[in-house]
Amino acid sequence: MTPEKPSADGEQTADGRASDAGPAVDYETVSVPVLVVGAGAAGARVAIGLAENGVEPLVIGKRDHGDAHTTWAAGGINASLGSLDPEDDWTIHAADTLDEGHFINDPKAVELTAKHMPDRIRELDDWGMPFDRTEDGKINQRYFGAQSFRRTCFVGDRTGEAMLDTLVDKAQSLGIPYRDNVMITRLLSDGDRVYGAAGYDMESGEFVLFESDHVVLAAGGSSALYNRHSSRDEENNGDGPALALDAGASLMDMEFVQFHPTGMVGDRYGEDWDGRLVTEAVRGEGGRLLNVDGERFMEEYSPDQMELDARDVVARAIAQELREGRGTENGGVYLDISHRDDEYIKSRLPRMYERFMDLGVDITEKPMEVAPTAHYSMGGVDIDFETGETGVDGLYAVGETVAGVHGANRLGGNSLAETVAIGALVGDHVAAQVTGDDRNGALPDGQRAIAEREFRSLRELEASDGDETPEQLLADLGDLLWEHAGILRTDESVSAGLEKLRNLRERTGNISVDGDRTSLSFELAVDLSFSLTVAEALLLGARKRDESRGAHYRADAPDVDPEWRRNILVDQGDTRLELTTRGVAEPSEEVSEAVDVGYELDYHHLE
């Protein structure tokens, strides 16, 4: 998927190479029953489900095997085990999730996740995930923001890494084939069904055509579009949602972007650390937020839930402190855990302790400087959560690539939960769809022509020698979104952002790629197209939703509007993106009862 795609003319030769459609292009062809795009937790769990049902998928990832973005999820994974709070159950987990999502979550998605998570945790435990334990041997659980009970299971502050290691080990024990360092740039689709995918090997530069009747997108989200974010710069650029949209699927609720309250402050720790996550586990273990005057300001904004209120509430509180001049000279506030015992901090937060020690800060003695950072995309592909189906036959999606579980704001600890709870369901469902009636590699000529046109377009992109670098264009896009679709938004600011986005698109016609197809410059040039598409959907949704709900805060419409309890759908029209809305279903009776009870975290249990 590149900024410009030439039209294809002429016929195809018998071996599938282009004749007069354009210069001949060489490529590898791979035929598989199921192609899983994304090698993080969601993709791995789907693949395990397929293999356990007798279907051998091929899993492809953009990085080395085991180096997916899941490893950056630190604090924990939710399940109503009741290890410490036996009154907790899945209906309360679902109620907390709906409340945090301001009730525009897909209730079925929420209930499936909450109901299945205890079994998924026990499964991960059986597979060897080294969960922290209580003194009596139960899986330990900690408080996370806006959760009524201690529900977040953890492995210190490296939960995502431990979980991915466990899933990869399980997948390898099943002999699931992986292919690393491959980027998918286009799905092969006629809008009604999918036929495979086109991409390139990022190490060799070779083009690869994947023939498959079943493609599962598990490629992550799009929070790295912002200039301050908690992702690697070359991850979470929106490729999953953009690929699905181009293939004929719908996106949903793209305006909802979670700004995590505690990202590192680049002016203090260096540009390479700007926006990097300081895990919510620090606050879950009793960390306190202080302004430059030493005031524990959450007492003013949320006296009951304090630092463990919802992420959107805490992020806006920090933003308010900064706007009113009570931030540090580096543009942050302080997060202090030093009142806890030194050994407790080192055992519960080993990664945070080691990271800050490397930067010359002993968090057992001194506070960290933090400020909000773009962290997670609640919006994504619209799917059926029992099946992963997108509405395009043979195309499925799962994980942060999709929308629905989290609504207007994600409950901390639910991202990892969604990957394995829904990933298991999708794996089982897709396996049942693989039959002897599949094409077995017989790619229609029209789809082969699309793939070859894509390869020629990528080759042209590689040769681009204009004046605009993809690095600068992406940086300017990040600045644009932070300024015009950040924590605070207005109709005026979002509309101005859309106008700037049009100008930015025009600049891509003068792009320059420094290096061949194995270079980072080329990778970022491909990312740019995905990012521009997702940024447009985000801005359009933010302008259309003229209310404030969860992570979407419109300063010119600061209240929740009951009439806006609707999802915004985005589809690819003939010439532009088209937006429609859809009402939200009601939760089940048992979850509605838990909502009505109004369970709520009392932060002061920690003190």
Domain locations along the chain: 260-372, 445-561
Mean pLDDT of 256-268: 93
Q: Residue 70 has what pLDDT?
A: 83
At residue 14 the predicted structure's pLDDT band, cuts being 50, 70 and 90, is very low
Q: How confident is the model at residue 6 (pLDDT cuts 50, 70, 90)?
A: very low
Decide: residue 217, CB within 10 A, 0-12 exposed, 13-18 middle, 19+ buried.
buried
Reported as a pLDDT band with limits 50, 70 and 90, residue 477 is very high
Q: What mean pLDDT, rounded, does the chain reach?
A: 92
- Segment holding 46, helix H or strand E: helix 41-52
Average pLDDT on 149-160 reads 93
| Upper half-sphere CA count for residue 118 (Cβ side, 13 Å) | 14
Average pLDDT for residues 21-42, to the nearest whole number?
91
Structure tokens at 586: 């009601």
Q: How confident is the model at residue 189 (pLDDT cuts 50, 70, 90)?
A: very high
The pLDDT of 360-372, averaged and rounded, is 96
Give the span between the Cα atoms of 283 and 333, in whole angstroms: 14
Count CB-CB contacts under 10 A for residue 87.
Answer: 10
Mean of the pLDDT values across residues 40-67?
A: 94
Whole-number Å distance between alpha carbons of 157 and 347 = 9
Question: Given a cut of 50, is residue 147 above it in pLDDT?
Answer: yes
The whole-angstrom separation of Cα 565 and Cα 571 is 20
Q: What is the mean pLDDT of residues 42-54?
A: 97
pLDDT grade for 87, boundaries at 50, 70 and 90: very high
**What are 267-299's pLDDT values in tens digits?**
899 888 999 999 988 998 999 999 999 999 999
- Its CATH architecture, for the domain 260-372, is Alpha-Beta Complex (3.90)
Q: Name the residues annotated as catalytic.
A: 311
In whole angstroms, give the CA distance from residue 355 to residue 538: 33
Task: Say yes or no to pLDDT of 22 above 80.
Answer: no
According to the model, what pLDDT value does residue 146 have?
A: 82
Q: Span 590-603, mean pLDDT?
A: 88
The 3-state secondary structure of 339-366, one letter per residue: CCCHHHHHHHCHHHHHHHHHCCCCCCCC
Overall CATH class of domain 445-561:
mainly alpha
Query: How far is residue 459 from each of residues 1, 211, 212, 464, measured CA to CA in Å?
Result: 12, 21, 24, 9
In this prediction, residue 9 has a pLDDT band, given cuts at 50, 70 and 90, of very low
Token pair recorded at residue 69: 């973005």
How sure is the predictor about 19, in pLDDT bands with cuts at 50, 70 and 90? very low
- The phi-psi region of residue 77 (left if phi > 0; otherwise alpha if psi is between -120 and 50; otherwise beta) is beta
Neighbours of 461 (CB within 10 A): 22
Q: Looking at the predicted structure, is the pLDDT value of residue 578 above 70?
A: yes
Do residues 427 and 53 touch, judged by C-beta distance below 8 A? yes
Q: Does residue 318 surpass a pLDDT of 50?
A: yes
Which segment of 7-21, 65-79, 326-340, 455-469 scores lowest on mean pLDDT?
Answer: 7-21
Q: How far apart are CA 114 and CA 386, in angstroms?
A: 13
Angle formed at CA 405 by CA 402 and CA 411, multiple of 5 degrees: 120
Measured distance CA(64)–CA(461) in Å, rounded: 25
